């Protein structure tokens, strides 16, 4: 019963009359599955890289988000071209979103740097089993009908990088579509998949050569930045707080990588003064690269909101493999 009540509460907040939530999945170890939100990352490691990541959020709460991602990317024999595959499965309460995308990146050398221009295309299945909910009002029009949609996707991104620095911008889902639109009892109800925008930057600063490297990074996420220009009146005010992650990490001997990060959000709306802001979580993580090329890792998020009264936080587990398929041997991995 707790699961159904909590799930209903979450979705009333997220949907209500219209959807205002961030819809892309969240990851603490975003640097290990960057292909999920930026297709221009494909091939940037200069060898075949595979990754599998699982995230359980708010673990003691039934119906809380559970997400898995699978990524694979590599350069082709034409070193200017990289290709990739990303699969994401995201479950929240009675809804499941599963997306599969193929990525293509063309990389332009610029001295010590490369500019990668990436495109991706794929399909996404959105499945909402509202009939699984136990409602206080049996005739609630928001949850009247189950929804199952197969939807196209198209995304793009830019990634400018060198051995010790990178900066990127992307929108992995440029195609917007309605998840629900109906008129029940004279009340218009909308739920819409909207564009998300990502901005990332980071650096690798050797402190003792390759034996100890300091690696700060930053990820910013925005929903609905372009909605003021929308021709659809009901969606001009759609959006969610801007969310950002600040991460500081140390890489030891090119094998052990440990980090800590802080996640927060701020809301900026016209005529709102001061802008609303909130802290979300403090996070720690670790990754270890074996000589075989196998990488394992884990992360823990501690919530800094009132959620810490009902949950101990979120956990991530990661496994990956990195190797040089052309020379049939593991090579020293790149910093990014």
Residue 203: inside a domain: yes
Residue 23 belongs to a domain: yes
The residue among 74, 84, 91 whose CA lies nearest residue 25 is 91
The distance of Cα 172 from the centroid of its chain, to the nearest Å, equals 10
Confidence of residue 178 (pLDDT cuts 50, 70, 90): confident
What tokens were used for 281? Answer: 């979580």
335 lies in some domain:
no
Which phi and psi angles does 63 have, rounded to 5°?
85, 5
Q: What does the alpha-carbon distance between residue 309 and residue 182 come to, in Å, rounded to a whole number?
A: 37
pLDDT higher for 57 or 324?
A: 57
Tokens of 227: 């909605």
Closest CA to 235 of 181, 169, 172: 181
| pLDDT at 4 exceeding the cut of 50 | no
Q: What's phi and psi for 5, nearest 5 deg?
A: -65, -45
Give tens-digit pLDDT for 33-66. Answer: 999 999 999 999 989 999 999 999 998 888 889 9
Does the pLDDT value for residue 216 go beyond 90?
yes
Cα end-to-end span (Å), the chain: 45
Rounded to whole angstroms, the Cα distance separating 93 from 192 reads 18
The better pLDDT of the pair 23, 278 is held by 278
Query: For residues 264 and 223, what is the distance between their CA atoms, to the nearest angstrom?
Result: 15
In a domain, 330, yes or no: no
pLDDT digits 0-9 by tens, 222-269: 876 655 555 555 555 565 678 899 999 999 999 999 999 999 987 655
- Given a cut of 50, is residue 129 above it in pLDDT? yes
| Token pair listed for 102 | 């193929």
pLDDT band (50, 70, 90) for residue 130: confident
Is 225 inside a domain boundary?
yes
CA dihedral 56→262→27→97, nearest 10 degrees, is: 80
- Establish if 31 belongs to a structural domain: yes
% of the chain exceeding 70 in pLDDT: 74
List the helix and strand counts (H, then E) for the chain. Answer: 1, 17
CATH at residue 205: 2.40.160.40
Secondary structure element (H or E) that encloses residue 3, with its range: helix 2-14
Please report the pLDDT score of residue 60 as a whole number: 87
DSSP string, 307-322: GGGT---EEEEEEEEE
The overall longest dimension of the chain from CA atoms, in Å, is: 68
Higher pLDDT, 62 or 10: 62
Q: Which domain holds residue 188?
A: 2-323
Q: Report the domain count for the chain.
A: 1
User: What is the predicted pLDDT for the residue at 71?
Assistant: 97
Torsion of CA 250, 280, 168, 65, to 10 degrees: 100
């Amino acid at each position: 019963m707790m699961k159904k009540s909590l799930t209903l509460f979450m979705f009333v907040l997220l949907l209500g009359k219209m959807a205002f939530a961030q819809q892309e999945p969240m990851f603490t170890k975003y640097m290990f599955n960057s292909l999920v939100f930026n297709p221009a990352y494909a091939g940037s490691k200069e060898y075949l890289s595979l990754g599998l990541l699982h995230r359980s959020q708010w673990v003691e709460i039934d119906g809380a988000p559970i997400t898995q991602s699978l990524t694979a990317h590599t350069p082709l024999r034409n070193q200017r071209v990289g290709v990739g595959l990303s699969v994401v499965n995201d479950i929240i309460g009675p809804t499941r979103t599963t997306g599969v995308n193929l990525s293509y990146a063309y990389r332009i050398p610029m001295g010590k740097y490369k500019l990668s221009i990436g495109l991706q295309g794929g399909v996404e299945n959105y499945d909402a089993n509202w009939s699984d909910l136990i409602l206080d009002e049996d005739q609630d029009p928001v949850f009247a009908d189950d929804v199952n949609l197969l939807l196209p996707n198209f995304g793009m991104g830019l990634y400018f990088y060198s051995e010790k620095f990178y900066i990127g911008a992307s929108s992995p889902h440029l195609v917007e579509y309605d998840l629900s639109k109906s008129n029940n009892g004279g009340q218009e109800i909308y739920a819409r998949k909207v564009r998300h925008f990502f901005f990332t930057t980071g650096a690798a600063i050797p402190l003792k050569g390759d034996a100890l490297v300091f690696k700060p990074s930053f990820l910013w996420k925005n929903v609905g930045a372009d909605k003021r220009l929308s021709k659809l009146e009901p969606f001009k005010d759609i959006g969610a707080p801007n969310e950002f992650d600040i991460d500081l990490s140390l890489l030891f001997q090119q094998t052990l990588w440990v980090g800590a990060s802080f996640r927060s959000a701020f809301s900026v709306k016209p005529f709102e003064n001061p802008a609303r802001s909130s802290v979300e979580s403090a996070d720690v993580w670790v990754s270890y690269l074996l000589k075989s090329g196998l990488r394992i890792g884990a992360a823990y998020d501690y919530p800094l909101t009132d959620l810490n009264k009902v949950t101990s936080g979120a956990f991530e587990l990661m496994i990956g493999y990195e190797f040089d398929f052309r020379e049939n041997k593991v090579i020293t991995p790149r910093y990014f």
